[in-house]
Structure 1
Amino acid sequence: MTSLGYTLSSEEHGPDRLVDVAVRAEAAGFDFVSISDHFHPWISAQGNAPFVWSTLGAIARATDEIEIGVGVTCPTIRIHPVNVAHAVATVQVMADGRFTFGVGTGENLNEHVTGARWPEHEVRLEMLEEAMDVMRKLWTGRNTSHRGEHYTVENARLYTTPDEIPEIVVSAFGPKAARMAAEAGDGLWTVGPQEAVREAYADAGGEGPTYTQLDVCYAETEEEAVETVYERWPNTALSGELSQELPTPAHFEQAAAMVEPEDVAEGSTVTSPDPDAHVESIRQAIDAGFDHVYVHQIGDDQEAAIEFYEEEVLPAVR
C-alpha cells in the first residue's frame, strides 16, 4: 500500500511553523512528513533555512505516530559524517524509531559555505558511499576508527544510539545514482514520477522503499496558484544541473529571471483547485512504481492545502 506524505519546506517556513505544520499533517491523516535540509533557500523570496536537526527534534516530540523523514541531507562536505551520524541517532531515539534518513550528493548552494571545493558528481557519489559506511559503523555504538579516501574518524563512539538503525534512502535523478542507491542504500528518493529512475534502481537489485515528491500549489483559483509558484518557487522551472551547481540564492534569482508565468502554468507543478488534478498526479507516481508519494504545497497557506487534501484528495486516492 502506498504511503502518502506531506513536505515540510525549510526554505519557506521557520522552525516553529514547520513543527505546527507537521502536527496538522498528522491530524489530517498523512502517513509521513519529510523535511528539506538547506543552509540557504533557493531564492531570497522563500525567506528561510532553519537548522534541520533542531527542527526534527521538536517534530519528533510534538508528534505521536506519523513517520518522519529528512529529504534529503548531504552528509559529506558542509558537515562531517561523524556529526551527521550523531544528529541522526539522536532524532531516531526521540522519534522512537519513526525516522527515515534520506541522503544525497548535495547542492553547491548549501555545501560551498565552508570554503571546501565542490567536486564533480562522480566524486560526490564516492564521498556519499564512504560517509554512509562511517555512519552505519557509528550507529552500532561501538568504538569506531576509519581511515578512508575522503574521511578520517579516530576513536569515536556514540553513546546515545537507537534500538533500530534508520534506513538510509539515497536520492537519485539518473541511472548512475539509482544504481548506487540499490547497491549501498536502503531505498530510493527522487522528485516527480520518474519511472526510468525507479526502474534503474529496481534493475540494479534495489528492493527498498521508493520516495518521490510532487510539487503542488492549492489556492482558490489556478491564477492565484500560478502567481504564488512564480513568486516563491520559480526554481522548479529550471532545467538541467543548475540546481546542483549554482552557488547562491542570487545566482538562482538571476536564472529564475528567465522563467515566465507561462512556464509555471505549463510545468509539472499542480496548480488547479480541482481535486481530480491532485489525485491524478499522485496516481501517476503510484503507477510509476513509487510506494511513498508526498506533496509539497508551495506558499504560505499550508492549512488550507492540508484541509483540502484531508477532505478531497487523500480519501479519493485511498
Structure 2
Amino acid sequence: MTEQAGPKELVSHVVGAERAGFDFSVVSDHAFPWLDSQGTRSVRVERPGAAAQATSRIPLMTYVTCPTFRYHPAVVAQKAATMQLLSEGRFRLGLGSGENLNEHIVGAGRPAAHVRLEMLEEAVDIIRRLFAGGYVSHHGAHFDVENARLWDLPDEPPAIGIAVSGPRSCGLAGRHGDLVIATEPKAELLRTFDAHGGAGKPRVGQLPVCYDPDRGAAAARAHDRFRSALGGWRVNAELPGPAGFNRAAQRTRPEDVAEAVPCGDDVDAFVLDWAASDLLPALRTL
C-alpha cells in the first residue's frame, strides 16, 4: 500500500516479504492517496526499480499503471522493459483504464468508461509492438507514436495484466491480456474473462486485511485508512480527490469496515474469509 508508506519503507517491506517467504508482490501506481490520513505518495517508477535491486527472487508487478493519461504508452513500454531487465525477468506490467483520483492531475478531462477502455486497448497494442522490437509508428484514434524504438529489450517481455471491473474490461483482458487482475471478489468477472479468451491464463485477486495483535486497533486503523474502499469500483474510479472520498465514507463505521476487511492477528480467520469470497473458485489456477 504505497498510500501508507514512504519510498524507503516500501523497499524495506518488499525485502522483508522476500525474506519471510512471500511469493508475490505488487505496488500501486497512484498520484494521490484516497484519504488524507494515508498521507503519502511517491513516484511509482523508482519504487519497483529499487526493489528489483534490493531483492533477488520475489516477483514484482504494478497494480496498476494507467498508460493513457499521466503516461504515454510508449513511455510505459520503455519503463516496463527497463524494469524487466533490472529484475532479471521478475516483472509483470499491470495495466488499467485509470481512476479520476490520479489521472485528473494532467487536465486531460474524464471521458466515458467505454472511451477509456478504447484508449487502454490502443495503448496495449502500442506497448506490445514496442516490446516486439524495431521501430514503431502509430497514428490512431487516441495516440500518436513517431518512429519509436526500445533500445534495451529483455529476452522475454513483461507479461501484461489487465484490471477488470465489468464485462467490457473483462473482454479486453481476455483478448489482450496475459493475465487478469480483479480487485473485487466477484467470480462473474473471471467467468467473463474466460469466455473472451482468458481460460487458462493466470489471474490475480485481492483481499485486503489489517493485521494487529489487538483486533480493536486493527479495526480502527482499517477504518481510518481504508474506509473509502467500501464504495466499490464505480465510486472509487470517479471521485477526484481525498475530500470526495472522505465525504463519501463519512457515515461508514469501524464495524462496517471490520466486516469487509479481516482485522486482527488470526491468520486462519484471514484464510477463511478469503475462502468464503466469491472469487476463490475462479482463482484456483493462480
Whether the TM-score (by the shorter chain) exceeds 0.5 is: yes
Partners of 2:100 and 2:237 within 8 A in 1: yes
Give the aligned partner of residue 156 of structure 2.
164
Give the aligned partner of residue 306 of structure 1.
none
2-structure distance, mates of 1:202, 1:114: 35
2-structure distance, mates of 1:111, 1:290: 30
Give the aligned partner of residue 304 of structure 1.
none
Opposite residue 257 of structure 2, the aligned amino acid is V
Equivalence map 1:1-318=2 (5 Å): 9-206=1-198, 207-239=200-232, 241-266=234-259, 268-284=260-276, 287-291=280-284
Opposite residue 239 of structure 1, the aligned amino acid is G
Opposite residue 59 of structure 2, the aligned amino acid is E
CA 1:215 to 1:257, structure 2 compared with 1: closer, same or farther past 3 Å?
same
RMSD, aligned CA: 1.5
Displacement after TM superposition at 1:175 (Å): 2.0
Displacement after TM superposition at 1:12 (Å): 0.9
Opposite residue 231 of structure 2, the aligned amino acid is L
**Aligned partner of residue 145 in structure 1, secondary structure:** strand
Displacement after TM superposition at 1:233 (Å): 1.2
Displacement after TM superposition at 1:162 (Å): 1.2
Partners of 2:211 and 2:264 within 8 A in 1: yes
Displacement after TM superposition at 1:279 (Å): 1.7
Opposite residue 117 of structure 1, the aligned amino acid is G
Partners of 1:169 and 1:187 within 8 A in 2: yes
Displacement after TM superposition at 1:282 (Å): 3.6
Unaligned runs of 5+ in 2: none
CA 1:240 to 1:93, structure 2 compared with 1: closer, same or farther past 3 Å?
closer
**Aligned partner of residue 170 in structure 2, secondary structure:** helix
Displacement after TM superposition at 1:272 (Å): 3.6
Partners of 2:49 and 2:86 within 8 A in 1: yes
Partners of 1:193 and 1:288 within 8 A in 2: no
Q: Which region of structure 1 is more displaced relative to structure 2, 253-262 or 39-48?
A: 253-262
2-structure distance, mates of 1:248, 1:193: 25
**Aligned partner of residue 158 in structure 1, secondary structure:** coil
Partners of 1:209 and 1:291 within 8 A in 2: no
TM-score relative to the length of structure 2: 0.95
1-structure distance, mates of 2:269, 2:59: 26
Opposite residue 13 of structure 1, the aligned amino acid is A
Partners of 2:229 and 2:236 within 8 A in 1: no
Displacement after TM superposition at 1:149 (Å): 0.5
Displacement after TM superposition at 1:288 (Å): 2.1
1-structure distance, mates of 2:276, 2:63: 21
Displacement after TM superposition at 1:281 (Å): 2.9
Structure 1, residues 40-79: CA drift from partner, whole Å, max 9, x if none?
0111110111111111100011010111111111110111
2-structure distance, mates of 1:115, 1:287: 39
Displacement after TM superposition at 1:38 (Å): 0.3
1-structure distance, mates of 2:184, 2:119: 25
TM-score relative to the length of structure 1: 0.86
Unaligned runs of 5+ in 1: 1-8, 294-318
2-structure distance, mates of 1:213, 1:116: 30
CA 1:283 to 1:263, structure 2 compared with 1: closer, same or farther past 3 Å?
closer
Opposite residue 121 of structure 1, the aligned amino acid is A
2-structure distance, mates of 1:287, 1:15: 32
Identity in percent: 41
1-structure distance, mates of 2:86, 2:190: 31
Displacement after TM superposition at 1:185 (Å): 1.2
Displacement after TM superposition at 1:141 (Å): 2.7
1-structure distance, mates of 2:34, 2:169: 23
Report the number of matched residues: 284
Structure 1, residues 216-259: CA drift from partner, whole Å, max 9, x if none?
00111221111001111111222351111111112111212121
**Aligned partner of residue 142 in structure 1, secondary structure:** coil
1-structure distance, mates of 2:156, 2:30: 26
1-structure distance, mates of 2:34, 2:114: 24
